[in-house]
Amino acid sequence: MELLEFGLTTTYFMFGGQLYQQKLGTAMGSPVSPIVANLYMEDLEQTAINTASEHIKPRFWKRYVDDILAVVTKGSTRILNDHLNSIDMSGNIQFTSEEMENNSIPFLDTKIVSREDGTIKTVVYRKKTHTNQYLNFQSHHPLTHKLGVVCTLA
């Protein structure tokens, strides 16, 4: 535990020739960061769901890292969003929400479309800001990460 705490609280980085110490959160690119972030988010979401009143409790809830897809009663999105934002006492986690538009909603790299017969279909979705750039091959990432991007896209 001491080693984990040391690794999480002594993060330094260089920007514009200046050395900085990260004061909040885990270091991007650190192997332990996704694990710690996932554990924190899991605890946060369990607390949020367990303390939500019945009329705003999601009927469906799926999360990938910090993106959540939830099915809620019509008209309760804002109330649920406010409830989620009240759980993190540090005030550092800020949830935002989107509602279905034209019977569809984006989630990760997909668009979920609700059909008239009650079924759903998914299609590939790219945000307007998508640049088709994934990982610069000249970056200092390990070669396995660079090759992983290519394999995933293929």
Other CB atoms closer than 10 Å to residue 97's CB: what's the count? 13
Q: What's the pLDDT at 14?
A: 84
Phi, psi of 50 (to 5 degrees): -70, -25
Q: What is the mean pLDDT of residues 44-50?
A: 93
In whole angstroms, how far apart are CA 86 and each of 77, 82, 83?
14, 6, 5
Collapsing DSSP to helix, strand or coil, 114 comes out as strand
114 beta partners:
120
User: Which tens digit of pLDDT belongs to each residue from 4-39?
Assistant: 888 777 888 888 999 988 877 777 777 888 888 899
User: Which tens digit of pLDDT belongs to each residue from 123-146?
Assistant: 999 888 888 888 888 888 899 999
pTM: 0.71
Q: What is the mean pLDDT of residues 59-66?
A: 90
Q: Note the helical H segments in the chain.
A: 2-9, 33-51, 77-87, 143-153
Band of the pLDDT at 63, cuts 50, 70, 90?
A: very high
Q: Is 80 exceeded by the pLDDT of residue 150?
A: yes
Q: What's the pLDDT at 135?
A: 87
Q: What's the pLDDT at 127?
A: 86
What are the strands of the beta sheet with 110-114, ordered from one edge? Answer: 104-107, 110-114, 120-124
**Residue 118: its H or E element:** none
User: Which tens digit of pLDDT belongs to each residue from 86-134?
Assistant: 998 888 889 999 999 999 999 998 999 999 998 999 999 988 888 888 8
